[in-house]
Amino acid sequence: MSDQASATPPALEITTSRQMLSWLAEQSLSIALTTYQIGKLFFLGLKPGGELSVFERNFNRCMGLCPTADGNGLYMSSLYQIWRFENLLESGQQQDGFDRLYLPQVGYTTGDLDVHDMAVDADGKLVFVNTLFGCLATLSDTHSFKPLWKPPFLSKLAAEDRCHLNGLAMKDGHAAYVTATSRSDVADGWRDHRADGGVVIDVASNEIALSGVSMPHSPRWHNGKLWLLDSGTGNFGYADLDAGRFVPVSFCPGYMRGLSFHGDFALIGLSKPRHNKTFSGLGLDANLKAHNAAPRCGIQVIDLRSGDAVHWLRMEGVVEELYDVVALPNVRRPMALGFKTDEIRRVISVESPL
């Protein structure tokens, strides 16, 4: 269930821009993020004195992260399970200075589907990107998953990661757009189209809404626009759906994955590109060089009104890659329980009787 910690793990160092912590306080905001690289779920908030609070739990290959329907919990995908976390604290309650205590309440065994983005629809149903099979799916009480939709260019459901379907955008409570690295219909074919084979697909119409992007991730509908990460180039922007083109808004120095919004601000996850074929030869390399920048791991906060990076958080040491980022409004200092210590045995809550 949980990952095994290394005997002597490298140190984790977190630094922030000068106003990042005061901005979190002003916005009454905390952040949850996942890194499958070392299998950790992180919660970033503020201690009573205003210092950064960093809380972590181990879950093997944790990736997708999204709020539950009522906003009181979180769903998280891991190596072969999807977990639903439930916050046990009532409004105004605290435990050891934390105002959210997330308990892994329910686990669904899916097998290794390489689950990426997840979201909850208008009916409260979890919808997730089943990357291995290249489809949208939901949870099943009796099977690993229940398929909901697949791209029209895939000839069948097959456990072959043909197009690397990865991102999901909801609109009005329904799955509206997805991102894929390519339109390949052969096993692992997406790797041959990393530079410019990426597409955004309209789920309702089965039409390609945008093409020619590079390893796109994390499409999100916000303030009347479809935002996404053109990860292969390092550009954050939105899709002009009428013209079928990508409009860059801001360059971010890293391989982007994970996008969440809070009002007029976008929170973007950055990773250091791996030195292998998957990440080599992309436009990101040239853009980093043009900006005289080294790739970073952390979070970039972009003001949508100007495109400026107004705040940032940087992670160095053991963490080099992130997957998902979720803004937690009206949360000051969150924590969660895991499976490696016995404290989960001692946390017992009683639902109010009728």
CATH at 208: 2.120.10.30
Rounded to whole angstroms, the Cα distance separating 218 from 63 reads 12
d(CA 200, CA 208): 6
Full pLDDT tens readout for the chain, 354 residues: 443 444 455 689 999 999 999 999 999 999 999 999 999 999 999 999 999 999 999 999 999 999 999 999 999 999 999 999 999 999 999 999 999 999 999 999 999 999 999 999 999 999 999 999 999 999 999 999 999 999 999 999 999 999 999 999 999 999 999 999 999 999 999 999 999 999 999 999 999 999 999 999 999 999 999 999 999 999 999 999 999 999 999 999 999 999 999 999 999 999 998 876 667 779 999 999 999 999 999 999 999 999 999 999 999 999 999 999 999 999 999 999 998 888 888 888 888 886
349 part of a folded domain: no
Residue 352 lies in a domain: no
Q: The domain containing residue 284 runs over which residues?
A: 12-342
Identify whether the C-beta of residue 229 lies closer than 8 Å to the C-beta of residue 216: yes
Angle ∠(232,268,222) on CA atoms, nearest 5: 100
Sign of the torsion formed by the C-alpha atoms of 300, 196, 193 and 291: negative
Q: With contact defined as beta carbons under 8 Å apart, do 167 and 179 qualify? A: yes
Say if 2 falls within a structural domain: no
pLDDT of residue 352: 80
Cα-based angle 316, 40, 310 (whole degrees, multiple of 5) = 50
How many domains does the structure of the chain reveal?
1
Tell me if 351 is assigned to some domain.
no
Report the distance separating Cα 246 and Cα 227, nearest Å: 9
Q: For residue 208, is it within any domain?
A: yes
Asked if residues 229 and 259 have their Cβ atoms less than 8 Å apart, the reply is: yes
Nearest to 231 by CA among 182, 274, 282, 280: 282
DSSP state of 95: B
- pTM recorded for the entire structure: 0.94
Q: Is 6 a domain residue?
A: no
Sign (positive or negative) of CA dihedral 153, 158, 163, 164: positive
